[in-house]
Structure 1
């Protein structure tokens, strides 16, 4: 029991040092800030210039005026024209993909549903405008395609004495991979046919295989990307047709409240801009300096630790990393090439590799290892490495606190399973306190995550 406590303490420390600490230090997120609520009887609406109709500048998952997902693009045109212009004047190498690619006319007629999580943000007025003269002109890099995504509700007012109401999106678009990293857009057309405008919400997100839902990373980078695509349309004059308007809906995630307005009335559009910064790190080799500081005792300890490495440790490392990255790659591949599978069918096929494949394979491999501490440390460290490699695959720059905590817990749980399966832990019985604790923690964390408790 005493040895189990020591191993558990080491695993907790390891989880914090390799997962929790770096995540909290380098990728803070405000996505979990509790949303404010407007007075439901008198929400502050935004009315585009020359229009009778208007919109409340947020989306929500239910019919409530909570300031969650900020609308950040307004387009003076109709949805079909916008889609058609992006298709014709974007990237010259626009490719038709097997996954839900669209014809502009058909796409507008069919709204789609699916699953993702969104961010939050304040009513405003279109009176405040700022001309944007330094926006970069650039062709699109990846074609926009029809998207699967959870339904979000917009609150629209048709004007002319009509009653405001909640409505679902006209259509959704994506640039990227459903099971990888993507830019996601929801579009809502004016409820008044005499007012030609489309309001949009765009954000970047990645699919989290441990929660089986999308995690929104931010809105600025996606807004900047969409803005470049819209400005590549020849009919758009960046000096006259592109302005910035303050919707006053800053707050959640990295939203700053400013939307980009683009006039595309004969091929005319409006949008929000944002430029995400990236942290680039440079690692310089320092082996010579390290060697100079090592004492003879330090070298002896390093040699002793090296001697303890078994072939099973390397097999465990490779297996854990292969499962995590394999699920990510297979999800993207199936979504792209297996058109007969729905996104939910793909999740059902691959999630068992995470929920069952990881702990079972870890247990079976760790049974051949001698030291419980070594087995636990290798499993936890391998899992931490796999998590960071997966984050790199989807170009993830931010994490909400609940995800950081969840990742730390599963790292500890897998380490306990490995430690409890090692030979020294199973000398008297194959079932021991460390193994039971690891399995119980793994099950509770995954079940709690799927039901929204983590």
Structure 2
């Protein structure tokens, strides 16, 4: 009989836990009403500004509270691989600004995206989740929902802690989560502006606004700005040095060989030097660019070829340089940059395109195109 109260207590606890963990009834996916969708870009591609436990507005949870305007892949790299993706800014007496965000585990929450705001979209799970802090302690947690048809990524950011008595995370703040993201990005060189914009929807911890982060345009000039403040490693510098060395080395070898043996048929020297010029730059860039930041590697290869071409022409006294020669050398530099980018990303298709472009640019003069 003494065990009966204990048995009753256990049954009560089990019943309470069953009540808190019982699954919700299945709900068929349904699109939110059009007037509940918001366009982050103001012109195209819409999103339901909340997350949901299921593919229906009936499971609404927290509000989306940050929108980052930029190419979705670039946004992701800005969070998860900032130093490796050339986001780092390093100068004298500065510390490396490595991203604090790490891949995070969390329950799936859906949001709805549409290309036209007329119900022609679909429910999507977060493409990735990130966190700062400890899973079993306190952390800031992000779920990311990139647009498939526009250059923005909507985030749901919140602070939370692990509750052992509830066996789940308990959200402590939505606004505080957005502020962590804002503070992390606002001073980065790849961010143009951070401001707060009204989206007109309350609920889910929202005050009817979200934080908008505008990335710098992803042009070569825009990307080059943070790169100029990045301390180059020896492997980085080796890329342009190798290209310049091969180009000027072939020129110097030809001049020296002619001076030593002027009676030899020049075509014999060409038969030795030209294959080195064809194979050397592309092969060295392919080897040296591996495991380097892709954009940085491409820029260094392009710059190395441009400098090498200019120095080569200056060495033999070409002045002024004909326009068609300038265009040809720029084409070679662009092709070599593509080789470097493909090698750095271990992308065989892109690497192949770069090699083909390099060979085509070299072959163009042989067929009278240049």
Structure of greater Rg: 2
More strand by share: 2
